[in-house]
Amino acid sequence: MPCFSLSSISARKKRAFPLLPVAAGFAALLNSIAAYGQIGLSLHDAILQAQNSPSARMTQAQIDEAHGQVTQAGLRPNPRLYLQSEDLRPWANNFDFSNNTEDYGYLSQTIETAGKRSRRLQLANANMQQTEADRTLQMQQIAGRAAASYWNTVSTAQISKLLQQDLSAVDDMVRYHQERVAAGAMRGADLLRMQIERDRLFIALEAARREAVLARVDLGRQIGRPLNEDVVLSDSIDAPDPVPYEDLATVLAERPDVTLAEDGVTAAEADLKLQKSLGVPDLDLLGGYKRNSGANTLYGGLQIPLPFGNRNQGQVQRTQASIRLAQNQLEEAKLMAQTDVAAATEAYTREQEIVEKTLPDMRARAKQNLAIMSDAYRTEGVDLLRYIDAERTEMDVEVNALRTLAEYHQSALRLKLAYGVQP
pLDDT digits (tens, 9 = 90+) for 247-290: 999 999 989 999 999 999 999 999 999 999 999 999 999 999 98
Q: In this predicted structure, what is the pLDDT of residue 25?
A: 42
Q: How many helices (H) and strands (E) does the chain have?
A: 12, 6
CB-facing half-sphere around the CA of 57: CA atoms within 13 A: 6
Closest CA relative to residue 3, chosen from 238, 203, 237, 180: 203
Report whether pLDDT(144) > 70: yes
pLDDT tens by residue, 42-75: 999 999 999 888 888 888 888 889 999 999 999 9
Domain topology for 6-419: Outer membrane efflux proteins (OEP) (1.20.1600)
The 10s digit of each residue's pLDDT in 303-359 is: 999 989 899 999 999 999 999 999 999 999 999 999 999 999 999 999 999 999 999
More confident residue, 26 or 136: 136
Q: Is 419 exposed, middle or buried (0-12, 13-18, 19+ CB in 10 A)?
A: buried
Cα 101 to Cα 88: distance, rounded to the nearest angstrom: 6
User: Which residue, among 419, 423, 420, has the nearest Cα to 245 in the 3D structure?
Assistant: 419
SS (H, E, C) 89-143: CCCCCCCCHHHHCEEEEEEEEEECCCCHHHHHHHHHHHHHHHHHHHHHHHHHHHH
- Residue 226 CB burial class (10 angstroms; 0-12, 13-18, ≥19): exposed
374-398: average pLDDT: 83
For residue range 161-216, what is the model confidence (pLDDT) as tens digits? 999 988 888 888 888 878 888 888 777 887 888 888 889 889 999 999 999 999 99
At 9, is the pLDDT very low, low, confident or very high (cuts 50, 70, 90)? Answer: very low
pLDDT band at 37 (very low <50, low <70, confident <90, very high): low
Q: CA-to-CA distance for 95 and 99, rounded, in angstroms?
A: 8
Share of the chain above pLDDT 90, in %: 56
Neighbouring residues of 293: CB distance < 8 A, sequence distance ≥ 6: 99, 100, 101, 102
The per-residue pLDDT of the chain, averaged, comes to 86
